[in-house]
Amino acid sequence: MAPRSDSQTLATGSGAGSDTTSESSMDPIFQILRIVPFSFLRPPRLRLKLPSFTLPSPMTVFSMILLTYFLVVSGFVYDVIVEPPGIGSTQDPITGAIRPVVFMSGRVNGQYIIEGLSSGFMFVLGGIGIIMLDLALDKNRAKSVKASYATAGISSIVIAYVMSMLFIRIKIPGYLH
Amino acid sequence: MAGKQDSPNSDLLNSFSFKSLKLKTKQQELLIRVSILGLVYILAFIARLFSVLRYESMIHEFDPYFNYRTTLFLTEKGFYEFWNWFDSESWYPLGRIIGGTLYPGLMVTAALLYWTLRFLRFFVHIREVCVLTAPFFASNTTIVAYFFGKEIWDTGAGLVAAALIAICPGYISRSVAGSYDNEAVAIFALLLTFYLFVKAVNTGSLAWALGSAFGYFYMVSAWGGYVFIINLVPLYVLVLLITGRYSMRLYVAYNCMYILGMLLAMQIRFVGFQHVQSGEHMGAMGVFLLMQVFYFLDWVKYQLNDTKLFQTFLKITVTSAVLVGGIALGVGTASGYISPWTGRFYSLLDPTYAKDHIPIIASVSEHQPTAWSSFMFDYHILLFLFPAGLYFCFKRLSDATIFIVMYGLTSLYFAGVMVRLILVATPAVCLISAIAVSATVKNLTSLLRTKQKVPQAGSTKGAGSSKSSSKVSLDQSQPFQKNGAIALLVGVFYLLSRYAIHCTWVTSEAYSSPSIVLAARGAHGNRIIFDDYREAYYWLRQNTPTDAKIMSWWDYGYQITAMGNRTVIVDNNTWNNTHIATVGRAMSSYEDEAYDIMRSLDVNYVLVVFGGVTGYSSDDINKFLWMVRIGGGVYPVIKEPDYLVNGEFRVDKGASPKMLNCLMYKLCYYRFGELVTEYGKPSGYDRARGVEIGNKDIKLEHLEEAYTTSNWIVRIYRVKPPTNRL
């Protein structure tokens, strides 16, 4: 409430001061400013407008939040602090060739960057699948759009769940045994 | 349903049973709800009993032993002795003011339960009460989660939230039976405070706000994490103000909670005047003053009928308020009256801070940042449901949903910074996921239920009746949609059952180990129990003089005082970094220098933990580098590169000479060179590091071995008095 009206009044105050008479303004600071520098300094005529501050719509905020969620759940803070390699490597004992290792094994609380990002993507995909299911049940759309939303949603959820289970089984060998 | 009066007795019985079972829909719903909540309550309790059934009813880990010792003291000596207790048995020779440096909520709660049970003539031991406090409060949390879900969304979401939070591994990890730690009670207090506050904001009632103030008092008495509440609630109020949701209800709720909560919180000695002096609490005060400005401006606007005058007044007031607030904050901070953010909480905002500046905080494994697998382990399906729940909350924005969204996001960010804080995020994640589940199931079942209505254009009763007109046109696709809805409901049921299976498995395998008793699989698959810790502590209790002082690394301090009943030099409270650094220096120096330090501290016995025989990896050799870092942080004579070879920490032949001759090495590997630990390997093979040790011929000059436990896990040495000068 306060910031919005504040910026508007500042805009109107500066606009009012330049063309209409300013005796109607009751702002003492404005009166002081009128006398002290601006009685002998002439303010230039600018066409600038103060940036108006409007709140973004809920869905815009939601998409930004989804992005932040993706970063947090991928272990972004872990990546920044511990600085693991993007992908691990192991040396094949027989041939001596270097093979990449995607999942850091042996600990629950450790990851390489790529595995974190891909898992985070799966989680967000599952969430979006459920959202699309809800959009599919919305009444005000054409039937074909609803059907495509439904299929996309269901397939997203299924893919996300299956991949996440696969990832966790690779990472923790004794999972569910 | 008319009962026929043919043969009075049997038919009366029949009609009586039929009539009484035929409840109205509202009663049926109430019965279902109450029975679900009852089952969830019992489930939350029994899911946490794995370790009691497998081992015995004992306290786990390290910190709970301190809490147990203080609770024992409270029940034996009474509240005033407890409140004024100065303990000379820890942090020798400094001592510790226990009454003024702990959060008494947990101990007082357990003592109250104990006294209640005794009053009812159930003479239980205080240890049993302590062990089972956490599951009991976890069950209570599910009930609060139900009411919270009801407040935010509807009763369906509340029921799902209660069920999810009952078995969520993120919460179970710190509230199993035996985990007698502050968080056991604190999560209940946290959720209760938040629920009461949201209820107060929704109703604007002073009674609910008073309730939330008392909930906050309970939280402050229980856990240091109350700082989260005192920063989240003002942030929430600020967001409401920015989005234009200022109302009288918000004013009443926040003011009452803040003032009363602050006054009550000052009753806890450990917190003291922090609410007016500490930088972490200044946000709440700032928002409090901002609310007064808002109320004042609202009143002035109501009095004045002139908008132009009001706009001017608004500009002046806001400018002056911001100026005055800024100056006051600046003066307070510069003069030192307002203390800056403490390291622990500052490292949440700037995660790289602890790594560079405070090694003690960085060394705790619970304080590491979180990887994706920890999230998956602790949340499973809830990670999918959380963004969907956020979407539903954003679709239906209200004061309550804004709160839960903020709680969820802030707590999830902090959970990403520190693994331990997954616990704080769990209630929010469960609640938001419950919203997703409830909304999705509601959508699907409303699809199902419209099918039962014959699609007449005029019918307006029943669920989803607004679809009845459109249903006429979709007549052919009805069976397909109905089958699809049923299939999706089966899918939801499948996912939730997988969640339950996952949670049970995680609880059973990962979170039910007492840590003080170790278990391993033997060669034939049988389970072997290592009870070495308690063996060592009881040896200390029975075989050392009562005024003996034990030096060990700070991890074991609480357990030694609680079970061994002896004085320790440093313990888990870690309040004095220099004292810990002195011990670290002693452990990493050569035996002669270490002997001087030990004589200066009056040490009689030294205790080390060694995992080389059993392959136990959380022993003192693996923690050794932290001792070096912490010691080197205060005494520059200890330099970490001295103990490393090419940046690598080794204990075999290639290790650095300083490492091979320091006190910790000698104490851990004394006589180990003669032991064959594994078939086919040379003697002195360290199973935890996987190498043969470098220095097998160890001679101790100033210490002698007092006791080594049966699996060589705990080793105790006696410090010899100085030789007589001749």
pLDDT in tens, A12-51: 333 333 333 445 666 777 788 888 888 888 878 888 877 7
SS3 (DSSP) at A110: coil
- Neighbouring residues of B716: CB distance < 8 A, sequence distance ≥ 6: B536, B539, B540, B605, B606, B607, B705, B706, B707, B708
Selecting from B372, B377, B467 the residue whose C-beta is nearest the C-beta of A75 gives B372
**C-alpha distance from A40 to closest chain B C-alpha (Å):** 25
User: In this predicted structure, what is the pLDDT of residue A6?
Assistant: 40
Q: How far apart are CA B471 and CA B484, in angstroms?
A: 16
Is B311 in Cβ contact with A131 (below 8 Å)? Answer: no
ipTM of this model? 0.83
Q: What is the mean pLDDT of residues A53-69?
A: 88
Tell me the pLDDT tens digit for each residue of A142-158. Answer: 888 888 899 999 999 99
Q: How far apart are CA B709 and CA B10, in angstroms?
A: 73
B window 62-101, beta carbon within 8 A of A: none
The answer to whether B65 and B559 are in contact (CB under 8 A) is: yes
Which residue from B407, B406, B411, B410 is spatially nearest to B422, judged by alpha carbons?
A: B411
Question: Other C-beta atoms within 10 Å of B81: how many?
Answer: 12
Half-sphere exposure of A30 (CA within 13 A, CB side): 20
CATH, residue B601: 3.40.50.12610
Which residue from B689, B588, B567 is spatially nearest to B640, judged by alpha carbons?
A: B588
Domain assignment present for B609:
yes
Most A-contacting residue of B315, B372, B398, B409 (CB-CB within 10 A), to test interface: B372
Number of domains in chain B: 1
User: In this predicted structure, what is the pLDDT of residue B529?
Assistant: 87
Domain assignment present for B549:
yes
| Cα B51 off chain centre by | 19
Domain assignment present for B355:
no
Domain assignment present for B539:
yes
Question: Other C-beta atoms within 10 Å of B75: how many?
Answer: 18
User: In this predicted structure, what is the pLDDT of residue B600?
Assistant: 92
**C-alpha distance from B447 to closest chain A C-alpha (Å):** 8
Run means of pLDDT, 10 residues per run, chain B, 726 residues: 50 58 84 96 95 91 92 94 91 89 94 96 94 95 96 94 95 93 94 96 94 96 94 95 90 95 94 90 92 90 80 82 89 84 78 73 78 92 94 92 95 92 95 95 87 46 41 58 89 94 93 86 82 93 93 92 92 90 93 92 94 88 91 90 87 87 91 85 87 87 92 93 80
User: In this predicted structure, what is the pLDDT of residue A24?
Assistant: 61
User: In this predicted structure, what is the pLDDT of residue B329?
Assistant: 86
User: In this predicted structure, what is the pLDDT of residue B14?
Assistant: 55
Instruction: Determine the structural domain holding residue B663 and report its residue range.
Output: 529-719
Strands B685-686 and B691-692: antiparallel
Selecting from B311, B413, B467 the residue whose C-beta is nearest the C-beta of A72 gives B413
Domain assignment present for B627:
yes
First to last CA, chain B: 109
Binning pLDDT at 50, 70 and 90, where does residue A175 land?
Answer: confident
**C-alpha distance from A19 to closest chain B C-alpha (Å):** 17
Q: Identify the closest residue of chain B to A119 by CA–CA distance.
A: B372
Domain assignment present for B575:
yes
User: In this predicted structure, what is the pLDDT of residue B339?
Assistant: 81
The answer to whether B706 and B717 are in contact (CB under 8 A) is: yes
**C-alpha distance from A159 to closest chain B C-alpha (Å):** 12
| Cα B600 off chain centre by | 38
Is A55 in Cβ contact with B384 (below 8 Å)? Answer: no
Q: What are the tokens at B500?
A: 């339950």
Domain assignment present for B545:
yes
Strands B96-97 and B86-87: antiparallel
Half-sphere exposure of B393 (CA within 13 A, CB side): 31
What are the b/e assignments for B563-596, b being 16+ CB within 10 Å? bbbbbbbbbbbbeeeebbbbbbbbbbbebeebbe
Is A127 in Cβ contact with B388 (below 8 Å)? Answer: yes
**C-alpha distance from B386 to closest chain A C-alpha (Å):** 7
Q: Which residue has the higher pLDDT, B364 or A91?
A: A91
Domain assignment present for B576:
yes
Q: Identify the closest residue of chain A to B474 by CA–CA distance.
A: A143
Selecting from A68, A82, A134 the residue whose C-beta is nearest the C-beta of B443 gives A134
Q: What are the tokens at A154?
A: 């269901």
Q: How far apart are CA A147 and CA A138, in angstroms?
A: 11
